[in-house]
Structure 1
C-alpha cells in the first residue's frame, strides 16, 4: 500500500534552511558550480553546522516519537543535485533526524514539485522559490540568517505568527499603508463582525490546529502565538475570524505598533513568521525567523 500523507503535517525545507551552508554558498557565488561540487565531495564526511530552521524541524520531528503513525513529515527539497546531496544526507544521519524523503532538482525551481509532495509549508533561503510557492497558494517563507547560540530541544514546538498578510489577508494592512492609522481603525470597527480573508498561512495554521485537536489542550505538543502590531481595539475582528474558521491560537499579543522581538523571545518561539522587515531584523537576532512575501 502506498504511503498516505493524509492527516499529516508535511514540511518541505531546503538544505540551506536546515543547515548552515553560507560558506559553501559563497564558494558557489565566487568560484562556480564545479568548485562548490568538489568542496562538498571533499567534505562529505564532515557534518554541517545547524541552520536557522534546524531547531524548529528537530522539535517537530520529536513529536513523532510518541506515535506509531507519525504526524509530521519533513522533506528535503533542494536545488542541489543528488551528488552534492550526499553531504546533506550524512549530516541528517549525524543529527539523527527522521527525514526519509528528498528531492534534488539540479537548479530547477522547486515550486513545481510542492503539490506533488503534498506540502503544507515550504521553507527556503532562496527567495524566488518562496515567491513561486506563495503564488501557487502554498504557505512559504524565506529563512533569515540566524546563528543558534544553543541547540534547544523541547517537548513543545512553539510557532509565532504575525497576523495581517500572514494568517489573514492583506486588505486591512493596505488600508493602513495607503490611508493611515485612523482609516484603518475605522475600517476595522465597521467590519468587526465580518471575518478577515484567509492569508497565505491559513491552511498551515488549520493543519496545526487539527493536530492540536487530537490532544487535551494542556498536553498539545504544539503551541501557537499571534503577535501582531494591531491595537487591542481591533482584537474583536481577529478573534471572531479565528472562531469562524474553527482554528485556535494559544496566545495572542496586540502590540499596538511596539516592536515584537521581546515578546517573541519570551514566548520561546522555535520560528516566527512575519511579512515586515521592520520586525524581522530584530527578531532574527534571538529567534529563528522567516519572511512571508506578498502574493504577486
Structure 2
C-alpha cells in the first residue's frame, strides 16, 4: 500500500529555511551556480546551523512521539538544489537527528508544481518567488525572514501565532481598509459582525492544527495557537464569530489596535508568526521566527503604500 499523507499535517520546507545557508546563498548570487555547487560538495560533511524554521520543524516532528502507532506530522524538503548539492542538507538532517526522509530536488526548476503532489499543507522558504508561486497555486506559504539572534524556543509546547486578515481570513475586509480607509473598514465590520469571513490562505492550516489539538486532552495539549491582530473593539466581534463558524477555538487572541506586535509575540514565545504586512514581520522577526504571507496577486501591499504616500494612514 502506498504511504498516505492525506491524514497528516505535511510541511514543505526549503533547505535554506531549515538551515542557515546564507553564506552559500551569497556564493550562488555573486559567483554563480558552479561555484555554489563546488562549495556544497567541498563542505557537504560540515555541520549546518539551524535556520529560521528549525525550532518549529523540530517541535512539530516531536508530536509523532506522543501518540502510539500514528504519525501526526511529516516534513518534506522541497528545494531547487540538485540531488548532488542537496546531499549536504540530508547530512545535516541526520546530524541534527531530524525525522525527515522525503525530499524533492528540482535542479533549479520551479518547486510549486510538486507541492500538491506531496500534499503540502504549509510551504516555508526564504525565496520570495517560490513563496508567491505556492500561494498562487493555492498552498499556504510564507517567506521566512532571518532568524532572531537571541531566540530561545519554548520547551514541551508548540506555539504558533497568526495575523488575521489576508492570512487566516480572506482579504476582503483589509482591502476595504487599504482602498477606503479606517472609517469605512469599521463600518463594514460592524455591519457584518455576525457574518463569518471567508477563508484566507492559512485557514486550512489553522483547521489542521485544530484537528491535532483535538487528539489531546485540553490540559495536556502540546500545541498552542494565538491570533495577533491589529483589529480592536468592535471589529474583534467578527473574528470570534468566524472562529465559531469554523468550529475552531484558539488559545489566545490579542486585539492590538495598532500597537507593536513584537512585544506580545515575544511574551507569547512563538515558534513562528505569520503576517501579510512587511512592516509587522520585520519588527516581529527581531524577537521570534517570522514569515510574510504574500497576498495572491500582491495587490494589498500596493494599496497600503499608496495610502501612506497620500498621507492616509491608519490601522484596521
Q: Does TM, scored on the shorter chain, surpass 0.5? A: yes
TM alignment of 1:32-47, pairs within 5 A: 32-47=32-47
Separation in 1, partners of 2:33, 2:98: 28
Instruction: Point out where structure 1 has 5 or more consecutive residues left out of the alignment.
Output: none
Residue 105 of structure 2 corresponds to which residue in structure 1? 104
Contact 2:151 / 2:288 at 8 angstroms: preserved in 1? no
Separation in 2, partners of 1:246, 1:153: 27
Residue 27 of structure 2 corresponds to which residue in structure 1? 27
Separation in 1, partners of 2:53, 2:266: 16
Q: How many residue pairs end up in the alignment? A: 296
**Farther-moved stretch of structure 1 (138-147 vs 269-278):** 138-147
How big is the shift at 1:153? 5.6
Residue 13 of structure 2 corresponds to which residue in structure 1? 13
Contact 1:52 / 1:148 at 8 angstroms: preserved in 2? no
How big is the shift at 1:259? 1.0
How big is the shift at 1:109? 0.6
How big is the shift at 1:151? 5.4
TM alignment of 1:58-73, pairs within 5 A: 58-67=58-67, 68-73=69-74
State the secondary structure of the residue aligned to 1:164. coil
State the secondary structure of the residue aligned to 1:140. strand
Residue 83 of structure 2 corresponds to which residue in structure 1? 82
Residue 300 of structure 2 corresponds to which residue in structure 1? none
Contact 1:44 / 1:87 at 8 angstroms: preserved in 2? yes
Task: Normalising by structure 2, report the TM-score.
Answer: 0.92
Separation in 2, partners of 1:240, 1:151: 34
How big is the shift at 1:33? 0.8
Contact 2:13 / 2:123 at 8 angstroms: preserved in 1? yes
Contact 2:18 / 2:51 at 8 angstroms: preserved in 1? yes
Separation in 1, partners of 2:176, 2:158: 34
Residue 314 of structure 2 corresponds to which residue in structure 1? none
How big is the shift at 1:72? 0.6
Contact 1:185 / 1:234 at 8 angstroms: preserved in 2? yes
TM alignment of 1:58-207, pairs within 5 A: 58-67=58-67, 68-149=69-150, 152=153, 154-207=155-208
How big is the shift at 1:182? 1.3
1:288 lines up with 2:289 in the alignment: yes
Contact 2:12 / 2:76 at 8 angstroms: preserved in 1? yes
How big is the shift at 1:213? 1.1
Residue 50 of structure 1 corresponds to which residue in structure 2? 50
Instruction: Point out where structure 2 has 5 or more consecutive residues left out of the alignment.
Output: 298-316
State the secondary structure of the residue aligned to 2:235. helix
Q: CA RMSD in A?
A: 1.1
